Amino acid sequence: MDIKSKNINTIISPELKTNYKNFPMVPRVIFGAGCFGQLGEILMPKRINSESPFIFLVDDVFEGTGLISRIPLIFNDQLIFISADEEPKTDQVDALVHKIKSDYDDLPSGIIGIGGGTLLDLAKAVAIMLTNKGNSYQYQGWDLVKKPSIYHVGIPTISGTGAEVSRTTVLLGPDKKLGINSDYTTFDQVLMDPDLTKGVPKEQWFYTGMDCFIHCIESLNGTFLNAFSQSYGEKALELCKEVYLEDLQEDVARNKLMMASWHGGMSIAYSQVGVAHAMSYGLSYLLGVRHGIGNCLVFQHLKEFYPEGVELFNEMKEKHNILLPKGICKELTNDDFEIMINVALSLVPLWENALGKEWRTIVTPEKLKSIYQKI
């Protein structure tokens, strides 16, 4: 065999085929205080025609505020206010898709989600379900979406979840809380205007910001860690520490937390979350505890898994005088605990990331019950 043909053989040899994931990223992003004012010019070239509207899904916390008059509605565009009191459900997505299809003959030009993780996830899911048949629960899982979604834009108004960059939309379905993870989920455009986060109440600012902090700790301490995730995770962690432990000017802190959220989301794209998220999903499924606070409630008791992370978390919590609620699981029955434990244990990749392939030797139902009982 001459050298040339040997090289060709090495290239095509099946045992050398790698298995890395090829992820989409948000192709366009605008960042800066006040950039919401550019939304109209960003959307204009994406308008299919005057019959094909833009649908704005907006957190109803903004109803009656100045932000609404700045939304660039023209032609038959529609603004739909949505409460973020409960996290998104598959039924809710299906109902929105049904409404949009019956309100218009044509598919919309795009969906714009304005709000926190709840509204961003709804916008992603609605954009997918406008072009894919059936009910949204059928797509909860990995890579089940068949057809590209319609154009969709994410405009975060609170920072931390990383939902603005991720390729998932987390939905509560009839039998599970699980994301629609697909290449078509990722936003086509993200607009990050830190001014939009000005009115966030302090507790919520802490809980959602801690979602980002916990993403970093879980990613950086996981067995799936790699240079890609580490580079984003370390940056996000550094930003979280500045925001929550230093005394930054408010506008500086808003800018930094928005970028922390972005980097934290990028970090878990190529790794996974861990123990706090697995257990928080259990709390959320049974009790409807929201993501940010649920993560905090669990994370405070995870010293044996993340000793340094928990120490930092406690420092941040004290600095901002955050009192986490207590006794959440006090009244629960054995069956209740079992439901939460089963939900948590079903999230195999999260445990594998946290503790390695042999995680079942470390994490038992009894152990999880003892942690839940402390909450």
Note the residues at the interface with ligand NAD (CB under 6 A). Answer: 59, 61, 84, 87-88, 115-119, 121, 157-158, 160-163, 166, 168-170, 196-197, 199-200, 204, 208, 211, 290-292
The residue behind tokens 């800018």 is: 255
Residue 53 or 71 with smaller CB distance to ligand NAD: 71
Alpha-carbon torsion, ordered 274, 223, 260, 281, to 10 deg: -10
Q: How far is the CB of 179 from ligand NAD (least distance, A)?
A: 6
- Residue 249 CA to residue 257 CA, distance in Å, equals 12
- Find the helix packing angle between 291-299 and 202-220, rounded to 10°: 60
Q: Should residue 188 be labelled a site residue for Zn ion when binding is judged by CB under 5 A?
A: no
- Residue 36 CA to residue 195 CA, distance in Å, equals 9
Counting Cβ atoms within 10 Å, is residue 238 exposed (0-12), middle (13-18) or buried (19+)?
middle
Residue 87 or 211 with smaller CB distance to Zn ion: 211
Selection from Zn ion, ligand NAD, none that 163 binds (CB < 5 to 8 A by kind) is: ligand NAD
Q: How far is the CB of 284 from ligand NAD (least distance, A)?
A: 7
- Residue 236 CA to residue 73 CA, distance in Å, equals 35
Q: How far is the CB of 211 from Zn ion (least distance, A)?
A: 4
- Residue 1 CA to residue 86 CA, distance in Å, equals 66
Residue 53 or 128 with smaller CB distance to ligand NAD: 128
Residue 53 or 347 with smaller CB distance to ligand NAD: 347
Selection from ligand NAD, Zn ion, none that 61 binds (CB < 5 to 8 A by kind) is: ligand NAD
Query: Which positions ≥6 away from 328 have C-beta within 8 Å?
Result: 283, 287, 289, 297, 375
Query: Which positions ≥6 away from 65 have C-beta within 8 Å?
Result: none
Residue 110 or 274 with smaller CB distance to Zn ion: 274
Residue 74 or 95 with smaller CB distance to ligand NAD: 95
Specify the pairing of strand 177-181 against strand 170-172.
antiparallel
DSSP secondary structure string, 262-300?
HHHHHHHHTS---HHHHHHHHHHHHH---HHHHHHHHHT
Selection from Zn ion, ligand NAD, none that 166 binds (CB < 5 to 8 A by kind) is: ligand NAD
Residue 116 or 309 with smaller CB distance to ligand NAD: 116
Selection from Zn ion, ligand NAD, none that 192 binds (CB < 5 to 8 A by kind) is: none
Note the Cα 314 to chain centre separation in Å. Answer: 23
Find the radius of gyration of the CA atoms of the chain: 21
Residue 109 or 169 with smaller CB distance to Zn ion: 169
Selection from Zn ion, ligand NAD, none that 154 binds (CB < 5 to 8 A by kind) is: none
Nearest residue to ligand NAD, using CB? 117
Selection from Zn ion, ligand NAD, none that 157 binds (CB < 5 to 8 A by kind) is: ligand NAD
Residue 236 or 332 with smaller CB distance to Zn ion: 236
Q: How far is the CB of 157 from ligand NAD (least distance, A)?
A: 4
In the chain, which residue ranges form alpha helices assigned H by DSSP? Answer: 3-12, 39-43, 66-69, 90-103, 117-129, 202-220, 227-245, 250-269, 275-287, 291-299, 307-319, 334-345, 348-355, 365-374
Note the Cα 73 to chain centre separation in Å. Answer: 27
Q: How far is the CB of 265 from Zn ion (least distance, A)?
A: 9
Q: How far is the CB of 152 from ligand NAD (least distance, A)?
A: 13
Selection from Zn ion, ligand NAD, none that 92 binds (CB < 5 to 8 A by kind) is: none
Query: Which positions ≥6 away from 240 have C-beta within 8 Å?
Result: 209, 212, 213, 216, 257, 260, 264
Interaction pattern, residues 203-232, with Zn ion; x per rule: CB under 5 A: --------x---------------------
Nearest residue to Zn ion, using CB? 211
Contact (Cβ atoms closer than 8 angstroms) between residue 180 and residue 145: yes
Q: How far is the CB of 44 from ligand NAD (least distance, A)?
A: 25
Kindly determine how many residues on this chain lie close enough to bind Zn ion according to the rule CB under 5 A.
1
Tell me which residues touch Zn ion (CB under 5 A): 211
